[in-house]
Chain A
């Protein structure tokens, strides 16, 4: 099928030194930067135009946010460990670290869920003011990215064994490339949070 027609899926092209997937994921991330960039620009415009803009810590639970930052950073570490395990030919460890990465994503969402419900309990909704509108929209979009990343990592973790056990070099390299690209996306989601956290909680 088409896959047979397309070169440079598993091995990089000589003159560019890159696989197709690697270029694709970086272009995708460039586009994502423009998307979140527009939201950060919105944040600046909203804040400069507001009569009153609360300090993040007045409305947010900073210890919870800090904990979540730690959770996501840890998940980025386990993501790299998953990829490195494959490079070291250890499928079992790859599966374990993939599972941990997905689980940490889940922990992040649970903590976020408690933060959201606490806000709703206090009568703080997106419509309450532009600070909360910005907060809910940006963290909500980020949450969708976390869910998407969990889905991709979960899919690779579950189906990875099939590729690996076929024993064919190309299949193995394909899995390694995919895990690496999924990792790039996961780190990006992590970095977005590292910007969101100080902007929305600490400033």
Chain B
């Protein structure tokens, strides 16, 4: 932490009440609720996204009770859930299914993507390329509003007759065509997809058009590349799901049979519809979105980690160009691997071979990026700041998540592991201790830029260590539970199955870890709010970083920069010989 305060122009450190220099004549509503400023929108996305993330986590904490202690009344809050959900405090299977479906939907579409793209992307990307704002500020505002409306529809769906969607976040037909709650889910998705479309075209246009003078593509920080590729994935992969959502709504509302084959019988009753549809079509359209979506979840995280690692090792990223080519290749390949989610649909050996091959190929650029990040540590003078701790934890966590995915990408192994807890453990290692740790790294790293004050380091480190321990406590046991053959879709966590008896104790371990993990987040929430007023004043460049956002005042005023930035060098000019300090900002003349 010696670098604190070194080499930064301290004169512009803001006072506590000089809030963000937002245009005061705009009034409260236009400044905070209907702002067109990318920084305000970024913060709105971030705060809303964090709220949804915690709400989605609470749904899971409820489910974990049922998994650890099946059939027992939920203590404390069980009585509040109502007789239609948990009579006598004991969760009904229908409610368990709603919690599961909405946990996935909320975490992916309302939590992680809005934080990674809407929050970090909106706030940081224009600053890092030296732009005054996004290219289309009003479209940016509309994007946030569509997102909020979609989120509200999802939340309200819990209180509609029949409750929220209960067919999993994947909403497979024909189940999703006939179970309650799915229409609200579909309408909510259409809003969320519109939101991400508006955001994506804004990000791409901004990156191409609003670069500061001298900011060529090869001078982009890796974070900008990550957001740029992510935006293309959002732009091109989401529309097929929108089409699928429209058709699913048509199936439910207009009585069409896009996803319904002939002859469905429920409880001995022949369903009244014409049939002729194809349930696999839903899966193809869904996964055509949802595999690129996986990279939408993880690429911004990689971008954040790259920034934090370069800054805290005080040396340039190892293999920056290789990383950029890898992320471009990753973006392209992510469009042709989707059916590895569908090996057990009976797709046939030819198709399976194709998708296995592309899946093995796509692991190469991921490994290149991860290896480059690991190698970047070599020989660095590492500062173990809170953001760096989270970034360092991302590497092995994402590594575990990625490597355990390889057996799932090969059809023979997948046929055993499909739909077991192994799958849950695998993708949560990618997204939860992976992506979410990267988000924490980014939050601690850019918080001083957004607020003008640093977060408390001691509380930050406490938050980090507790999160690492409990996060692994939640997900590590699931590999064993899954290998033992326990299905991920069991309401009782396997208690009524003979083959699950030996691993049931791990459900309890996992549940207690989840609840303690939830408690540990309270430290973060406390730190987040208290540091707003009490945190150490940061100044422009508290981390002694090279990239352009640190040349703006903290927090940056409307329009971002007090002097128009001109870029003279690449993004990570750390520890270059012949300079007084160990970093050279991108804006410093050669």
Residues of A75-97 at the interface with B, using a CB-CB cut-off of 8 Å, are none
Whether A31 touches B255, Cβ cut-off 8 Å, given contacts A16-B208, A42-B247, is no
Are A31 and B235 in contact, CB atoms less than 8 angstroms apart?
A: yes
Partner of B205, one of A2, A27, A32: A27
A158 at the interface (CB under 8 A from B): no
How many A residues face the partner with a CB closer than 8 A?
Answer: 41
Are B281 and A45 in contact, CB atoms less than 8 angstroms apart?
A: yes
A198 at the interface (CB under 8 A from B): no
A41, B258: Cα distance in complex, Å: 12
B256 at the interface (CB under 8 A from A): yes
Are B255 and A126 in contact, CB atoms less than 8 angstroms apart?
A: yes
Whether A49 touches B278, Cβ cut-off 8 Å, given contacts A2-B37, A27-B200, A127-B257, is yes
Listed residue (B137, B139, B209, B257) with the most chain A CB atoms within 10 angstroms of its CB: B209
A54 at the interface (CB under 8 A from B): no
* A-contact 0/1 string along B274-290, CB 8 Å cutoff: 10111001000100100
Are B201 and A31 in contact, CB atoms less than 8 angstroms apart?
A: yes
Are B133 and A130 in contact, CB atoms less than 8 angstroms apart?
A: no
For B256, the closest partner residue in chain A by CB is A133
A-side interface mostly: helix
For B132, the closest partner residue in chain A by CB is A5
A27, B84: Cα distance in complex, Å: 46
* B-contact 0/1 string along A110-149, CB 8 Å cutoff: 0000000000000001111110011011000100000000
Whether A6 touches B208, Cβ cut-off 8 Å, given contacts A27-B201, A137-B256, A141-B246, is no
Whether A49 touches B276, Cβ cut-off 8 Å, given contacts A32-B239, A38-B240, is yes
For A128, the closest partner residue in chain B by CB is B274
For A29, the closest partner residue in chain B by CB is B201
Which B residues lie within 8 Å of A5 (CB)? Answer: 132-133, 558-559
Partner of B247, one of A2, A8, A34, A137: A137
Partner of A127, one of B138, B242, B255: B255
A4, B250: Cα distance in complex, Å: 44
Are A130 and B200 in contact, CB atoms less than 8 angstroms apart?
A: no
Listed residue (A3, A5, A125) with the most chain B CB atoms within 10 angstroms of its CB: A5
Are B255 and A46 in contact, CB atoms less than 8 angstroms apart?
A: no
B472 at the interface (CB under 8 A from A): no
Residues of B179-226 at the interface with A, using a CB-CB cut-off of 8 Å, are 197, 200-202, 204-205, 208-210
Distance in angstroms from A30 CB to nearest chain B CB is 6
For B257, the closest partner residue in chain A by CB is A130
For A7, the closest partner residue in chain B by CB is B210
B1 at the interface (CB under 8 A from A): no
Are B137 and A2 in contact, CB atoms less than 8 angstroms apart?
A: yes
A27, B328: Cα distance in complex, Å: 18
A32, B240: Cα distance in complex, Å: 10
A28 at the interface (CB under 8 A from B): yes
Are B135 and A6 in contact, CB atoms less than 8 angstroms apart?
A: yes
Interface residues on B, range: 35 or more
Distance in angstroms from B290 CB to nearest chain A CB is 14
A7, B197: Cα distance in complex, Å: 22
* A-contact 0/1 string along B51-76, CB 8 Å cutoff: 00000000000000000000000000
Whether A6 touches B133, Cβ cut-off 8 Å, given contacts A20-B205, A27-B200, A133-B258, is yes
B254 at the interface (CB under 8 A from A): yes
Which B residues lie within 8 Å of A38 (CB)? Answer: 239-240, 242-244, 285, 288
Partner of B239, one of A35, A125, A136: A35
Are B276 and A130 in contact, CB atoms less than 8 angstroms apart?
A: yes
Distance in angstroms from B250 CB to nearest chain A CB is 6
Distance in angstroms from B518 CB to nearest chain A CB is 37
Are A126 and B250 in contact, CB atoms less than 8 angstroms apart?
A: yes
Distance in angstroms from B20 CB to nearest chain A CB is 15
B273 at the interface (CB under 8 A from A): yes
Listed residue (B197, B254, B276) with the most chain A CB atoms within 10 angstroms of its CB: B276
A50, B278: Cα distance in complex, Å: 10
Which B residues lie within 8 Å of A34 (CB)? Answer: 235-240
Partner of B208, one of A23, A128, A130, A137: A23
Which B residues lie within 8 Å of A126 (CB)? Answer: 250, 254-256
Which B residues lie within 8 Å of A134 (CB)? Answer: 258
Partner of A24, one of B132, B133, B135, B254: B135
A27, B256: Cα distance in complex, Å: 32
A61, B374: Cα distance in complex, Å: 65
**Can you report 14 A-B residue pairs in the complex whose CB atoms are below 8 A from each other?**
A2-B137, A5-B558, A20-B209, A23-B209, A24-B135, A24-B205, A30-B236, A34-B239, A38-B285, A42-B243, A46-B258, A46-B281, A126-B255, A126-B256
The 6 nearest A-B residue pairs measured at CB:
A127-B255, A38-B243, A133-B256, A35-B239, A38-B240, A5-B132
